[in-house]
């Protein structure tokens, strides 16, 4: 990349004031002061001198350590300014975070301006249906039995699914979700790609016609092409991928032309490229600084995801020019795999290859060793499994045995992964400074 991205006028000021606030008065960043070159130094230089924050730091410091001055956790909870939420996952991944609904709403509303379909749908107090694992958001069934619709209505939201295992949904559940969409008539249907695809696939097989929302938003998981094409068979609405996290709000939003644009009024994004030996210029990890959330001052948070930047000299067709533009969110750093030559394969690259085989409905690749890969897949046609094995073998440069399965199980978190490689993450995968691109 030759040029630099353009940012809104007040971006540098917001970045600097968040930095000053954190370093001067937020306990979690006390140790960072020693390495700060000081307010007279250029912003990029100051940022580059500081460490990154990660989930382990968030857990170790606790919620109080991230509050801006004048904010007390007990008081905020008591008057309903904030709530606490637990993120799902294994013991290592689980975390309790403060949830500032007003700030989240503002971050989300700003993200809607980054997609024409979202902007035109007049979103504000719209009815929204969610189709996710109840571990991600919503209302889990305490005993595995169905919950009445009224129990799953919260404010303007309807949580369509209360069951932990979407692979075991009976047809009665599919029919109920179709009926509830008809009755609730949501403007937006938001969900995890896996659950949206499972619902879409089965409702088409059952000959059911779904209520058509104005917009479908995918979140929570990597938006696999094989899943989205199943969603498109049941829904005509445009599909928008929203990239963000509980910690940092809505960060990147997919525009109507397919690129991801930075929600620059609410988040600063820094980028560190993958090491040059991987031969993927423009692909790297990101660190997030959020703007204006006094209940969690978040600086340089290493969220654990890879993006592929679009060169600033090649603007997106939609015409938006503020902030970074990514051609793709490439998936989690922890989900990268490696081919036989040791070259890194991102989830997006894997997905592009797997989705080249028609009638692959779900898949997951596991790298067991540097030269050993296995996969499992759900296929809608005889022959697809052999084609998938050939495509993956070509991608990795070795034999990949693919097992035909009825469904890919979810992780402990309730989310689905397309690739697993326990030993993949290493700081040595990246090189050069983490900076605003």
Q: How far is the CB of 192 from Zn ion (least distance, A)?
A: 24
We find the least distance from the C-beta atom of residue 257 to Zn ion, in angstroms, to be 4
Compute the least distance from the CB of residue 240 to Zn ion, in Å.
11
Nearer to Zn ion, 131 or 316 (CB): 316
> Which CB sits closer to Zn ion, 88 or 254?
254
Q: Which is nearer to Zn ion, 318 or 408 (CB)?
A: 318
Q: Which is nearer to Zn ion, 257 or 401 (CB)?
A: 257
Using rule CB under 5 A, residue 259 touches Zn ion: yes
Question: Quick one: 157 or 243, whose CB is closer to Zn ion?
Answer: 243
- Of 103-111, 135-143, 315-323, 384-392: span binding Zn ion (CB under 5 A): 315-323
CB of 422 to Zn ion, least distance (A): 36
Examine residue 257 and tell whether it contacts Zn ion (CB under 5 A): yes
Among 23, 177, 240, 255, which residue interacts with Zn ion (rule: CB under 5 A)? 255
Binding to Zn ion by residue 216, rule CB under 5 A? no
CB of 255 to Zn ion, least distance (A): 3
Whole-number minimum distance, CB 248 to Zn ion, in Å? 21
* Binding residues with Zn ion: total (CB under 5 A): 5
- Which three-class secondary structure string do you get for the chain? CCCCCECCCCHHHHHHHHHHHHHHHCHHHHHHHHHCCCCCCCHHHHHHHCCCECHHHHHHHCHHHHCCCCCCHHHHHHCCCCEEEEECCCCCCCEEEEECHHHHHHHHHHHHCCCHHHHHCCCCCCCEEEECCCCCCCCCCCCCCCCCHHHHEECCEEECCCCCCHHHCCHHHHHHHHHHHHHHCCCEEEECHHHHHHHHHHHHHCCCCCCCCCEEEECCCCCCHHHHHHHHHHCCCCEEEEEEECCCEEEEEECCCCCEEECCCCEEEEEEEECHHHCCCCEEEEEEEECCCCCCCCCCEEEEEEEEECCCCCCCCCCCCECCEEEEEEEEHHHCEECCCCCEECHHHHHHHHCCCCCEEEEEEEEEECCEEEEEEEECCCCHHHHHHHHHHHHHCCCEEEEECCCCCCCCCCCCCCEECCCCCCHHHECCCCECC
Any contact of residue 316 with Zn ion (CB under 5 A)? yes
CB of 256 to Zn ion, least distance (A): 7
113 touches Zn ion (CB under 5 A): no
Neighbours of 182 (CB within 10 A): 12
- 22 is a site residue for Zn ion (CB under 5 A): no
Interface stretch with Zn ion, choices 139-147, 148-156, 308-316, 372-380 (CB under 5 A):
308-316
Asked if 318 is part of the footprint of Zn ion (rule: CB under 5 A), the reply reads yes
Span from 36-44, 153-161, 259-267, 362-370 in contact with Zn ion (CB under 5 A): 259-267
Q: Which stretch binds Zn ion (CB under 5 A): 14-22, 250-258, 362-370, 371-379?
A: 250-258
Choices 24-32, 69-77, 318-326, 353-361; region in contact with Zn ion by CB under 5 A: 318-326
Residue closer to Zn ion, measured from CB, 255 or 345: 255
Which residue number, 23 or 328, has a Cβ lying nearer to Zn ion? Answer: 328
Give me the residues that bind Zn ion (CB under 5 A), please: 255, 257, 259, 316, 318
């Amino acid at each position: 990349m030759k040029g630099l991205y353009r940012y809104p006028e007040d971006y540098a000021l917001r970045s600097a004031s968040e930095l000053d606030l954190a370093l001067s008065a937020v306990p979690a960043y006390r140790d960072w002061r020693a390495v700060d070159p000081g307010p007279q130094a250029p912003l990029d230089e100051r940022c580059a001198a500081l460490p990154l924050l990660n989930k382990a730091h968030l857990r170790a410091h606790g919620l109080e350590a991230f509050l801006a001055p004048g904010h007390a956790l007990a008081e905020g909870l008591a008057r309903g300014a904030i709530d606490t939420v637990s993120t799902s996952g294994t013991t290592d991944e689980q975390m309790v975070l403060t949830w500032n609904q007003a700030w989240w709403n503002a971050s989300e509303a700003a993200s809607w301006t980054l997609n024409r379909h979202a902007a035109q749908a007049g979103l504000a107090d719209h009815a929204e249906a969610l189709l996710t694992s109840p571990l991600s958001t919503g209302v889990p069934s305490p005993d595995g039995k169905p919950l009445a619709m009224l129990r799953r209505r919260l404010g303007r939201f309807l949580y369509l699914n209360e069951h932990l295992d979407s692979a075991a949904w009976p047809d009665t559940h599919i029919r109920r979700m179709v009926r509830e969409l008809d009755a609730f008539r949501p403007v937006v249907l938001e969900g995890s790609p896996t659950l949206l695809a499972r619902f879409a696939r089965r409702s088409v097989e059952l000959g059911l016609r779904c209520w058509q929302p104005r917009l479908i938003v995918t979140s929570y998981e990597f938006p696999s092409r094989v899943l989205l094409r199943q969603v498109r068979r049941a829904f005509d609405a445009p599909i928008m991928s929203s990239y963000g996290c509980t910690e940092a709000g809505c960060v990147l939003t997919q525009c109507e032309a397919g690129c991801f644009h930075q929600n620059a009024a609410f988040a600063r994004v820094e980028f560190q490229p993958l090491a040059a030996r991987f031969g993927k210029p423009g692909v790297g990890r990101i660190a997030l600084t959020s703007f204006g959330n006094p209940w969690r001052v978040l600086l340089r948070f290493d969220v654990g995801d890879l993006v592929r930047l679009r060169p600033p000299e090649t603007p997106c067709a939609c015409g938006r020019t503020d902030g970074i533009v990514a051609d793709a969110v490439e998936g989690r750093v922890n989900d990268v795999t490696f081919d036989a030559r040791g070259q890194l394969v991102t989830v997006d690259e894997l997905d592009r290859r797997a989705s080249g085989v028609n009638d692959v409905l779900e898949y997951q690749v596991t790298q067991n060793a540097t030269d050993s890969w296995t996969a499992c897949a759900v296929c809608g046609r005889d022959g697809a499994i052999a084609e998938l094995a050939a495509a993956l073998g070509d991608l990795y440069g070795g034999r990949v045995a693919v097992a035909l399965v009825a469904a890919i199980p979810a992780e402990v978190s309730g989310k689905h992964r397309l690739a697993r490689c326990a030993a993949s993450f290493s700081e040595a995968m990246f090189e050069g400074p983490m900076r605003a691109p």
